[in-house]
Structure 1
Amino acid sequence: MLTVEVASPDMHEPNLGSAALDALPSPTVVMEPGGLIGWANRAWWEAGEALLPKGVERRGEGADYHAAMARVLPTSDCSAIRAGLSAVMDGSTACFQYEYSCSIRSGRAWFHLEASRIDDAGNIVITHTDVTRRVSDEKTRAWQAGLDPLTALPSRARLYGLVADALSGPQPCTVLYLDVDGFKTVNDSLGHQVGDLLIRVLADRLGRRARVSDVMGRLGGDEFLVLAYDCDGERGLALAEDLRGAFAEPFALAGMRLSLTASIGVASSAGRTGSVDADTLIGDADAALYAAKGAGRDRVHLFTRELRDAARWRLEVATKLADPATYDQLEVHYQPIMHLPSGKASALEALIRWRHPERGLMMPDSFIPVAEETGAVVPMTRWLLDEVIRQTTEWAVEGVDVSVGINISACHLSSGTLVADVRRALSAHDLPADHLVLELTETSIAEDPVRGGEQMRELVAMGVRLAIDDFGTGWSTLARLLAMPMDTLKLDRSLLQGVCASDGVDVMSAIVALADSLRLRSTAEGVETLDQLRMVSEAGCDYAQGWLFARAMPAADLGRWMKARVADPSPWLDTA
């Protein structure tokens, strides 16, 4: 215990040290190494009277300082103060300063906290200076900018500063990056007011599950960040699982009960060689979040070095695809779609490739997901439309009358420019619209069926044909299919593999019968073996594509392939 002997403002004959501190106009305490208040001056007691509701006991000597502060400050401020005082106590820093605001009976006040160690035992003197009067409008705006206006949690800028401060301390810290799965659907379907309410409710739930020592803030949108002090990666994973528990109960909003999930990326400073800054640590947590979503969502993922390499590659892809000069490296390969009864190529599917100067020829799955994520897929598809329609027009002039299919992403469909983009490309090359087939997946249509349906009807009115691609991987219903002006149903390769595994054609036969009843052409994708071809034919499917017939090839090679087919008719026709 300190030699300062003043235990309350009513004590008599204080010593000189306590008398000097008691004369200070600012609320001042001396905190012992264990966190207890060893001494408090008169201003501290008076401040308690102004800050606390009437009838609430004020706390001084012998009370826990952090608990006393927690009565008037949010968790984020308390955690930051606790970390700063710990650094002063263990000698990591000589002085700690922090500014905070809190409600008082007359409104809101601002205080400047300053703490210094006063002896070798680790005792700290802490002053709380009222700076309300000198807080200018600029200071007020800067303060408010540090808080998220929707949740009153620390904002992005303030979180980055807190993470930087934590990384400068002696203990490891861990960052948890949380994103709500499917939040966009809530906003789009129920409106932004309901979305904002969901964010506030979620902030409260997450706050109840975070540790008292942790700081939680909102990065923006549906993204939250938790800074866990004195925490390594394994404990961070456990904390992340606790946070996921906030989604166990549905959210009662707008007269509905919404069941949602979250994906969380975890990155820790523990076990790293060399220093790490806030940008890197939060970026690593973001990379882990991306991996969690890529693995199926509703899960937690811990950062590894491989994820950083993947994140850098995504950045490179996003940067290069944003530059139209990169389109000179893109190529279009065409895969024939066969009419099985005749053995002739009845149509083509255009597939994009990237001939990277360092990585060689790259398949779409290595760059299209990033292009969709960044929006670069829209201008890239405009380029693809122009190139494919130009090539198809050339073939038509040469006497090769063929229709060509192009894959359209959900991003392009939701952009609202698809109809204009198609019309512009067709007009530029004077190609009849029925030579163009736009392939859309079930999920891309399901994201916004009303807006998507309007655009599809406009395209069909122009003469463009539409196909549902990868059928069987989404959640189409008969009613949805009937509502869409489709021309072709393309059966996903996974259905064909499943049929082969079960040694039957019942599933495929049922799908083909459904397509026939809706007057849709059915095309089997991914036909690679003669056994698969037999099953497709037995199911009544007249069109197919896959490696059994031909791989996707450049336009120059396609002409040679077609001439070879004329000279040597399909060897698989007799075995089908």
Structure 2
Amino acid sequence: MNIVEGSYNVWIVALSILIAILASYSALSIAAKISQSSGRTRFIWLCAGAVVMGNGVWSMHFVGMLAFHLHATVSYDIGLTLLSMGASVISSFIAFRITMPKETKGVHLAIGGFFMAVGIVSMHYIGMEAMMMPMELTYDPVLWALSAVIAFVAAYAALFLFLQFRSRPTSSLWKWLSAVAMGIAICGMHYTGMKAAIFHGDAHMAMDHGTSHVNGFLLLGVSLTIFIMLFVSWGAMFFDRHVLERMAYRDTITGLPNRNEMNRFFDTYAGKESMSVLFLDLDQFKAINDTLGHHVGDLLVQQVGHRLQRFAGGDLEVFRIGGDEFLIIGKCCDQKQAEELAARLLQEIKQVYHIDGHELYVTGSIGISTGSIQEADRSILLKTADTAMYKAKGLGKNQYCVYTDEMGVQEVRKMELEKDLQRALEHNEFYMEYQPKWNVKTNQLYGFEALIRWHHPRLGIVPPGEFIPIAEETGLIIPITRWTLEQACRECKAWQDRGMAQPVSVNLSVRMFQTDTLVEYLTSVLKKTELGPQYLELEITESMVIYDIQEIVRQLDIIRRMGVRVSMDDFGTGYSSIGLLDRIPIDALKLDRLFTHDLETPSKRAIVHAIVLMAENLKLDVIAEGVENQEHIAFLTELGCHVMQGYFYGRPMKDDKITEWLQGFAQEGLGRPKEG
């Protein structure tokens, strides 16, 4: 038996190298999808990466085998050939699965590289065993060991590059260079392994067969299969990037990146420098949606998105994260630059919009948070920007606000109050105070306004202006209002039993009308407390007119027919309802304190006088709030307003102080009562 020398077809060798490079590039591209996906999608991309990598290595090996000429008839065992392919794919899957977590440690790389290297070596030498030929096969131990070493180096290099490029979803020159390096390393292992192979056969065998030829049909079939596999994988990448990715990562209305893309941005952003996050919310969006319809609302959001798109590019990223909320991220952007950007954004947003024949003027509120995601979790940056945005709204809207530590303290307090509101009713932490209303024309008590107070066990007295908005947001305002109504009616009935028959007014939230049980509840409360309906007055606000005005009018009609009075609180400070006053069934208007505190100006007196005249024509009483001195009384009386409420007549007081307050009034006779 002699050693039979083989030869290589140079063109087929080049083809095998090209296959290795293309397979490596495809695997690196799919690597990005593995890290960016989750759940079932991640598993699918994991399998795809293993198939592309494993089949690519196997295909390169098989084509390399076809390039090798022994000048003898060679065929392949189908079972061993498929086994060699399975070893390559399975080892790639195990390696990718081990190194899939984002926080990959060195031990993961070591274990994954070991499995991939074992798979490559197994694939190669099982494939060699699949050769069926009239000669024996042995190996040079030194070259065999060298091929195994190259396999381990190639495996570790492949996984290292996999980890490096999985956070880069787009192709780049570096990815191609890495694919070339991986392809050459894999081919180096294969051809070193082939060099280690020693073929033993008869000397005259090669002469009998002459020069063998390459099985062209087999080579063409393998090559086509390989390229189809690669193009299918590239087609899947293209479809995912340009179709599925657009559906998943682009907002359908504005075309801007959506919340998913924002999350991916933070997941893949590797910069350590400071960035600024600007949280933008439109100010009048809900009113537009409710009055003009969601179609107009969508078109408005679309136009806003187009305006914001002009700012995107370079170091600025713009996202629509839901509803009328947008997020602008400035990389390498300090606080001063963020404030300048916010000012430009607000100026752009407030320009007029022409939508379906409507001329809309909309403003925005922006919260700014600056920091590094290396130093702070991204959720902190988003939360602080959101907090600053709500602060901007609270300051009057159409402005920006930069987050401060003081806001953080206020946010923590708000969260604590929201949590504690749940149990405040159960632990009887609420109590009532009553502020008197006085008729200066008759010099008689006109009634009391019921005001809820909260004595927090740790924080002390919490102002209504702080916990009422929280209750409105959470829906807890409904049980709180029900408690207030029942408590006020019960104590009003107690006044009557003590000989003081005075009405009491209670503020109502619009949410009470939305429950569609308000009339039924009022009926049960009046029956339970045995209070006559003429002694109860409900106060509503102007802002209710932006909701379902017809439904609110329907319920108010029923309430007034019951004998319960209705007044409109804070008139002149909310959404203008003058055009609806003849439709809304009410008995009185309450002028906000901003009118009272500025009565020395002729323009303000003219406005108040006009309101009083209008109320007289509509047969409505007018009640002025915030009366604190004799000058207020003189001005208001001159303008025709005779019912007043304010510190001049009495501060809000508990039920047990009302009798003392009345006794003080009796001792002084006509004039101002003493405060209890």
Same fold (TM over 0.5): yes
Deviations 1:450-476 (A, max 9, x none): 333222222212221111212232354
Matches within 5 A, 1:354-393: 354-393=454-493
SS at match of 1:306: helix
SS at match of 2:165: strand
Which residue number in structure 2 is paired with residue 67 of structure 1?
none
Measure how far apart 1:348 and its partner are: 0.4
Determine the C-alpha separation between the residues in 2 that align with 1:407 and 1:392.
15
Calculate the TM-score normalised by the size of structure 2. 0.63
Determine the C-alpha separation between the residues in 2 that align with 1:419 and 1:176.
45
Which residue number in structure 1 is paired with residue 166 of structure 2?
97
Q: Conserved in 2, the CA contact under 8 Å of 1:113 and 1:129?
A: no
Q: Conserved in 1, the CA contact under 8 Å of 2:249 and 2:260?
A: yes
Deviations 1:248-274 (A, max 9, x none): 44333233232211111111106x9x9
Deviations 1:146-172 (A, max 9, x none): 554544544435423423543x53121
SS at match of 1:499: coil
Q: Conserved in 1, the CA contact under 8 Å of 2:365 and 2:397?
A: yes
**2:556 aligned residue (445, 450, 456):** 456
Which residue number in structure 2 is paired with residue 562 of structure 1?
662
Which residue number in structure 2 is paired with residue 409 of structure 1?
509
Q: Conserved in 1, the CA contact under 8 Å of 2:277 and 2:330?
A: yes
- Higher relative contact order, structure no. (Cα contacts within 8 Å, ≥ 6 residues apart): 2
Matches within 5 A, 1:56-455: 95-98=164-167, 130=233, 133=236, 146-151=249-254, 153-163=256-266, 165-166=268-269, 169-269=271-371, 275-323=375-423, 325=425, 328-414=428-514, 416-455=516-555
Call closer, same or farther: CA 1:489–1:311 in 2, change over 3 Å. same
Amino acid in the other structure paired with 2:165: F
Greater CA drift, 250-259 or 353-362: 250-259
Deviations 1:212-268 (A, max 9, x none): 443322221111112222222222222223333442443332332322111111111
Which residue number in structure 2 is paired with residue 496 of structure 1?
596
- Kindly indicate which of the two structures has a greater share of residues assigned to helix: 2
Determine the C-alpha separation between the residues in 1 that align with 2:423 and 2:265.
36
Deviations 1:251-306 (A, max 9, x none): 33233232211111111106x9x921011100000011001111111111111111
The structure with the largest alpha-carbon Rg is: 2
Unaligned runs of 5+ in 1: 1-12, 31-92, 101-110, 120-126
Call closer, same or farther: CA 1:350–1:114 in 2, change over 3 Å. farther
Q: Conserved in 2, the CA contact under 8 Å of 1:148 and 1:154?
A: yes
Amino acid in the other structure paired with 2:405: R
Deviations 1:469-516 (A, max 9, x none): 122323545442222211112122221221135599554444323222
Calculate the TM-score normalised by the size of structure 1. 0.73
**1:515 aligned residue (612, 615, 618):** 615
Call closer, same or farther: CA 1:394–1:527 in 2, change over 3 Å. same
Amino acid in the other structure paired with 2:404: T
Q: Conserved in 1, the CA contact under 8 Å of 2:437 and 2:644?
A: yes
Which residue number in structure 2 is paired with residue 470 of structure 1?
570
Determine the C-alpha separation between the residues in 2 that align with 1:129 and 1:275.
42
Deviations 1:84-112 (A, max 9, x none): xxxxxxxxx97132486xxxxxxxxxx89
Q: Conserved in 1, the CA contact under 8 Å of 2:287 and 2:546?
A: no
Amino acid in the other structure paired with 2:365: S
Q: Conserved in 2, the CA contact under 8 Å of 1:114 and 1:128?
A: no
Determine the C-alpha separation between the residues in 2 that align with 1:356 and 1:546.
26
Deviations 1:397-424 (A, max 9, x none): 3332111111123444455444344334
Unaligned runs of 5+ in 2: 1-10, 29-161, 179-229
Call closer, same or farther: CA 1:115–1:432 in 2, change over 3 Å. farther
Runs of 4+ in structure 1 over 6 Å off = 19-22, 111-114, 116-119, 134-137, 140-143
Root mean square deviation, CA, Å = 3.9
Q: Conserved in 1, the CA contact under 8 Å of 2:425 and 2:480?
A: no
Determine the C-alpha separation between the residues in 2 that align with 1:406 and 1:508.
24
Determine the C-alpha separation between the residues in 2 that align with 1:502 and 1:255.
39
Call closer, same or farther: CA 1:544–1:325 in 2, change over 3 Å. closer
Which residue number in structure 1 is paired with residue 646 of structure 2?
546
Amino acid in the other structure paired with 1:550: G
Call closer, same or farther: CA 1:245–1:493 in 2, change over 3 Å. closer
Call closer, same or farther: CA 1:264–1:400 in 2, change over 3 Å. same
SS at match of 1:224: strand
Greater CA drift, 508-517 or 155-164: 155-164
Q: Conserved in 2, the CA contact under 8 Å of 1:436 and 1:465?
A: yes
- Kindly indicate which of the two structures has a greater share of residues assigned to strand: 1
Call closer, same or farther: CA 1:310–1:96 in 2, change over 3 Å. farther
Q: Conserved in 1, the CA contact under 8 Å of 2:256 and 2:309?
A: no
